[in-house]
Structure formats: structure tokens, C-alpha cells
Amino acid sequence: QPRSGGTNTGEPYPPAAVPSAVGDNPGAGAVAVATNRLDRRDAFRRPPGGSFGRPPWLSEAEFKRLTETRTTHGFLIALSTDPLLRAKEADFVTRALIVGFAGVAALGVALALRNLSKSADLQFRLLRASEMNSHLREMNLAAAGLAHETKNPLNIIRGLAQMISKQDDAPAPVREKSRGIVDEADRVTAQLNEFINYSRPREVRRSPVPLGNALNEVVRALGYDLEEKAIQLTVQPDLPRIEADEQLLRQALFNLLLNATQALDQGGEIRITATRNPDNTLTLEIRDNGPGVAPENRKEIFKPYFTTHQKGTGLGLAIVQQIVLAHGWEIECLANEPRGALFRVSHLKTLA
């Protein structure tokens, strides 16, 4: 079409090359415009025949493609996508961080809920254990009271049987059976006494106790049993003072020495030694050269009513363990070399 104010030749202008920029500013963005309808001077204010050339941000192939595929309106536009790509990458990193933090937060909440559930379950178990311990404590007290009341009629039966056994005019078979009643009454009474001692709460009243003096008194109480079997007893001299409940300590030592005495045959040997530790504690060891304790029984032996002796009640060592634990000590049964048993009591606190 002829241009207003120009010469009309009847022919359209030839296609224009894509300029390097709109106007005379080659760095004014990424816009390229071309037309086959407008005069170059109107479109770009350049004289006809001026060389526009390929923009520096387009490759040769891209420039050729844009030139050959001009739109219907005669405009070609090329925009730089680098800022958009950088913004997209930054947005992706931000989203990834948000997702990561959200995942960590969700994991933390899950762990917190799990720990809370475990804590609630543990609290429920502790409550049930406390209730059960209270119930068992009441049962122990009731059983101890029943055992104590049983001793009274048992003592009456024993006394009557003893009187009959000493009557000269009573037939010999009657006197013999009466003595058997006395022996059985003594055995049951001993078991009841040990049961009462076992069920009694252990309230530790600590005080300075000379360990050597406590052992000497226990040895004197067991003098008859030791002499009857001709047992040789050796006690380490110069034993220190320890912090303990004196009455409970004597009871524990008595049961340990009685257990060793019952396990020995004629002419056996018992040795009592003590070792001071750097942390101001003492380790007490009682050894015998008897048959020893089988490995599978070395933990079972401290359970109530477990015994390997024919005359044992099975409560002596259980009472020892109660006393030891009440003081915060430890006790274990080991093998003595070359033969016999070793009972070791650890963590006894020594005093200067």
C-alpha cells in the first residue's frame, strides 16, 4: 500500500531484516521487531538500505528462524528468560526448604507423640505396680500376723508333748511319739520365725558398727554348731568399722555363716576376709570348702524357699539378700577355688 506523504510506486517495500533493537538503543531489552508493510524509516527511524544485522543475544539459527516465521502482524518478539529461570530456581529451593522443614517438624511431632504415649504407658504401669506392691505388703503383714498367732497354740502343743515325753509312767511308745511332736513343733516354729523375719519391712537405722566385733558375736552364737562338726573358722583381723544397721548386719552374717556350716562335712573350713577399695568401701567374702553351689543355682539360691539342704527352710539367704539390698549393698554367689562356695558382699561403706 502507498505510504501517506510518499511516492506511490504500487509495490510494497521489501522485507526488512530484524533490527538489533527498537530505536537506536542496542541494550534496551530483548525485543526485536520486523515488518514487511512499514517503511524502515517509520519503523526504526533508519534510512532505507541501512544494515540492522543479527542481535547479539540471538544465535544465527534462532535469528534465521525468527526472520522466516514472521507473524501475521509482522512483529517478532524474543524475551530473555534468564531472570525467570533464576527466580524459578530460587523458588524451587525455597519450596524444597519449606518441605524439608515441614518433614522435620512432622517427624518431631510424631516422636513427641510416641514418647508421650510411652510415658503415659509407663506411668500407668508404675501406678499398677504401686497398687500391687501395696496389696502384697498388706498380704505379707496379714500372713505374718497369722504366723505369729499360729505360734501360740503350737507352743501349747509342744509344751504338753514335752510333759508327756518326760513322764516315767507313760508307755515307751507314747513318750517316743511325744518327743517326735516336740521336734516337729520346733521345726515349724523355726520356719514361722523365718517367715515373719522375711515378711517384716526392713527399716535400716545406720550407725558406726565395728565389723570385727559383730563377727565375733555371731561366731559365739554358732559355737556349738562349729564345734559339733569340728569346723575351722578363720577371720581376718583388724576389720574396720562400717556404716550399717547393727542388728540387721548380725542377722545377715549369722545366716551366711549358718548356711556355710550346714553345707560342710566334718572338719570343714570357713574363711572370712575383707578387702578395702579405693572408694572407701569394703568387700566382704565368706568362703567354705564344701560341695559348692551349681552354676544354675547361684542366682536361684537367694529366692524364698529355695534350698539344697535337707534341714533348710529356704528363707535364710533370701533374708540376707533383703538386708543387703536395704543397705544399698550387693551380694553374689560364686565358686570358691579349688572347691566350695564364695559369698561376696560389696559396697559396704567404711568409716575412719
- Residue 5 is predicted with a pLDDT of 41
- Residue 272 is predicted with a pLDDT of 96
Query: Comparing C-alpha atoms, which of 106, 112, 32 is closest to residue 74?
Result: 32
Query: Comparing C-alpha atoms, which of 210, 347, 326, 330 is closest to residue 279?
Result: 347
Q: What are phi and psi of 233, to 5 degrees?
A: -110, 125
- Give the amino acid at 183: D
The CATH superfamily holding the domain 207-351 is Histidine kinase-like ATPase, C-terminal domain (3.30.565.10)
Task: Count other Cβ atoms within 10 Å, centred on residue 155.
Answer: 12
- Ranges of H-type helices in the chain: 40-44, 60-68, 82-165, 172-199, 211-221, 223-228, 246-263, 316-327
Locate cell 522485507: which residue? Answer: 15
Q: Which residues, 6+ apart, have CB-to-CB distance to 1 below 8 Å?
A: 12, 37
pLDDT < 50 stretches in the chain: 1-51, 71-78
Question: Grid coordinates in use for 334?
Answer: 560364686
pLDDT in tens, 262-299: 999 999 999 999 999 999 999 999 999 999 999 999 99
Helix (H) or strand (E) holding 202: none
- Ranges of H-type helices in 30-81: 40-44, 60-68
Cα–Cα–Cα angle for 286, 262, 210, nearest 5°? 35
Query: Comparing C-alpha atoms, which of 316, 294, 286, 291 is closest to residue 303?
Result: 316
